[in-house]
Copies of this chain bind each other. A is one copy, B any other.
Amino acid sequence: MGFTFQINDDVHFEHNQQLLAKSTANRPQLHHQTLTPTRLVELVKDAHGLEGWGVKQLAPISDLSNYQLKRDEKLILDFGNHQVGRFSMDIASVGSPMDAPLYVKLKFAEMPAELARKSEDYTGWLSRSWIQEEYVHLDTLPAKLSLPRRYSFRYVEITVIDTSPKWQAVFTNPTVITDSSADLATVAVPKLEDQQLTKIYQVGLKTLEDCMQDVFEDGPKRDRRLWIGDLRLQALADYATFKNTDLIKRCLYLFGAMPADDGRIPANVFTQPTETPDDTFLFDYSLFFVSILADYEAFNTDQMVLDDLYAIAKRQMDLALTKVDDRGALQLDEDYPVFVDWSNDFDKATAGQAILIYTLKQFITLAKMTHDTEIEQYKAQLAKLEDFAKTTLFDPEAGLFVSGPDREINVASQVWMTLAHVLDSSATRELMTKTVQQLFPIKGIATPYMYHHVTEALFEAGLTDEAVKLMKAYWGKMIDLGADTYWEAFDPDKPDYSPYGSPILNSYCHAWSCTPVYLIEKYLV
Instruction: Give A residues with C-beta under 8 Å from B.
Output: 5, 7-9, 71, 95-103, 125-130, 134-135, 137, 139-142, 149, 161-166, 222-223, 225, 270, 272-273, 276-279
Contact = CB atoms under 8 A, between A and B. Distances in A.
Contacts of A96: 7-9, 278-279
Contacts of A137: 129, 134, 149
A163 B141 CA distance: 33
Contact of A223 (B100, B142, B149, B270): B100
B149 A127 contact: no
B149 A128 contact: no
A514 to B, nearest CB: 22
A166 B97 contact: no
Contacts of A222: 100
B277 A97 contact: yes
A101 B125 contact: no
B130 A100 contact: yes
Contacts of A149: 137, 139
A276 B127 contact: no
Contacts of A127: 71, 99-101, 103, 162-164
A130 B96 CA distance: 17
Contact of A129 (B100, B277, B278): B100
A223 B102 contact: no
Contacts of A163: 127, 129
- Nearest first, the 7 A-B pairs at minimum CB distance are A100-B127, A103-B129, A128-B162, A101-B129, A135-B135, A127-B164, A127-B162
A265 to B, nearest CB: 15
A277 B99 CA distance: 11
A319 B404 CA distance: 96
Which secondary structure dominates chain A's binding surface? loop
Nearest to A222: B100
Contacts of A103: 127-129
13 contacts: A5-B164, A5-B165, A9-B96, A97-B277, A99-B270, A100-B127, A100-B129, A100-B223, A101-B130, A128-B162, A129-B161, A139-B149, A142-B273
Nearest to A8: B96
A139 to B, nearest CB: 6
Given A140-B272, A270-B97, A71 B128 contact: yes
Nearest to A120: B120
A322 to B, nearest CB: 26
B140 A273 contact: yes
Given A130-B101, A270-B98, A279-B96, A125 B162 contact: no
Nearest to A94: B9
Given A9-B96, A96-B279, 20 more contacts: A5-B165, A9-B95, A71-B128, A97-B270, A97-B277, A98-B270, A99-B270, A101-B127, A101-B130, A103-B128, A103-B129, A127-B164, A128-B161, A129-B137, A129-B163, A134-B135, A134-B137, A135-B135, A139-B272, A142-B273
A149 B102 CA distance: 13
Nearest to A103: B129
Nearest to A163: B127
A435 to B, nearest CB: 36
A241 B340 CA distance: 76
Given A128-B161, A135-B135, A97 B276 contact: yes
Contacts of A162: 127-129
B97 A278 contact: yes
A98 B140 CA distance: 35
Contacts of A129: 100-103, 137, 161-164
Contacts of A277: 97
Contacts of A134: 135, 137
A97 B12 CA distance: 12
Contacts of A276: 97
A278 B7 contact: no
A279 B97 contact: yes
A66 to B, nearest CB: 18
A125 B162 CA distance: 10
Contact of A126 (B164, B225, B270): B164
Contact of A166 (B7, B98, B225): B7
Contacts of A278: 96-97, 99
A4 to B, nearest CB: 10
A111 B229 CA distance: 52
Interface centre among A95, A103, A134, A223 (most CB of B within 10 A): A103
A163 B222 CA distance: 14
Contacts of A5: 164-166
A432 to B, nearest CB: 37
A223 B5 CA distance: 48
Contacts of A223: 99-100
A128 B97 CA distance: 17
Contacts of A101: 127, 129-130
